[in-house]
C-alpha cells in the first residue's frame, strides 16, 4: 500500500499502542468466532478501540470525539449520524465520549470538542473541530471517500445493520390474511 500524503497526515498521532490491546467484548457484540452485524454507528471505548482500527483497514471510520456536557457536540452528532446513514455503509461512525475515555482523547490530542477525525487504513486523518453545517460535513466526507479510495480502502458495511446504539427500527409485520382479520 502506498504511503499517505504528507498533507493527509498533518497533525497525525501515533495510535499504535492502542492497536495491540486485546479486543474487549462490547456489550451486545457477538462472541469470538461468531459473525455478527456491524452497526454503522458505534460507541467506542479505550478498550474497544483496537476493533475500530482493524475495521478502518476495509472501510473509513469517522471518529466523533464528544462529551455529554458539550452543546455543539449535541448539535453535530445527529448530523454525522444522518450523513453516515445516507452513505449506506461506505463509512462507519465511531463515537468516543472523551470524559469516559481520556486515553483516546489524549491519543487524538483533542484540545477542544467536538473534534472529528477519520481513520483510513489505521492512519488518523484530521477532518474538523467544532460544529459545522451539514453541507460542510457532506463535502468533508466526500473528500474522505476519495482519500480512502486512493489508499485502497473501499469496502462497505452491509446496509440494514444501521442500529445506532442498539435501537433499530422494528420490522413491519406482514399483513394478516383476509380470513384471519
Determine, yes or no, domain membership for 47: yes
Q: Of 55, 62, 70, 164, which residue is the catalytic one?
A: 70
Determine, yes or no, domain membership for 135: no
Domain of residue 70: give its range: 12-21+37-127
Determine, yes or no, domain membership for 145: no
Q: Of 15, 42, 73, 118, which residue is the catalytic one?
A: 73
Longest dimension (CA), the chain: 68
| Cell matching residue 170 | 422494528
Q: What is the pLDDT of residues 80-125, one digit of tens each?
A: 999 999 998 899 999 999 999 999 988 989 889 999 999 999 899 9
Contacts of 116 (CB under 8 A, 6+ apart): 62, 63, 64, 65, 76, 80, 127, 128, 129, 140
CA distance 50 to 103: 13
Number of domains in the chain: 1
Determine, yes or no, domain membership for 73: yes
Determine, yes or no, domain membership for 31: no
- Catalytic residue list contains 73: yes
Q: What is the pLDDT of residues 64-74, one digit of tens each?
A: 999 999 999 99
CA distance 27 to 17: 23
Give me the CATH number covering residue 110: 3.40.30.10
CA distance 97 to 118: 16
Determine, yes or no, domain membership for 76: yes
Strand positions, DSSP E, 8-160: 41-44, 61-66, 92-97, 115-120, 123-129
Determine, yes or no, domain membership for 3: no
Determine, yes or no, domain membership for 28: no
- Catalytic residue list contains 70: yes
Residue 89, number of CB atoms within 10 A of its CB: 18
Stated pTM of the model: 0.68
Amino acid at each position: 500500500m502506498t504511503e499517505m500524503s504528507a498533507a493527509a497526515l498533518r497533525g497525525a498521532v501515533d495510535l499504535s499502542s492502542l492497536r495491540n490491546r486485546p479486543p474487549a467484548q462490547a456489550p451486545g457484540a457477538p462472541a469470538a468466532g461468531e459473525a455478527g452485524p456491524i452497526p454503522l454507528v458505534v460507541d467506542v471505548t479505550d478498550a474497544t478501540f483496537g476493533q475500530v482500527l482493524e475495521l478502518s483497514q476495509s472501510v473509513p471510520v469517522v471518529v466523533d470525539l464528544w462529551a455529554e456536557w458539550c452543546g455543539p457536540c449535541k448539535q453535530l452528532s445527529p448530523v454525522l449520524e444522518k450523513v453516515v446513514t445516507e452513505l449506506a455503509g461506505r463509512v462507519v461512525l465511531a463515537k468516543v465520549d472523551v470524559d469516559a475515555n481520556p486515553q483516546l482523547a489524549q491519543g487524538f490530542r483533542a484540545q477542544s470538542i467536538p473534534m472529528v477525525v477519520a481513520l483510513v487504513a489505521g492512519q488518523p486523518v484530521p477532518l474538523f473541530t467544532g460544529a459545522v453545517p451539514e453541507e460542510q460535513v457532506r463535502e468533508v466526507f466526500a473528500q474522505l471517500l476519495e482519500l480512502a479510495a486512493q489508499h485502497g480502502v473501499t469496502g462497505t458495511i452491509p446496509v440494514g445493520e444501521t442500529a445506532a446504539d442498539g435501537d433499530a427500527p422494528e420490522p413491519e409485520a406482514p399483513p394478516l390474511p383476509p380470513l384471519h382479520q
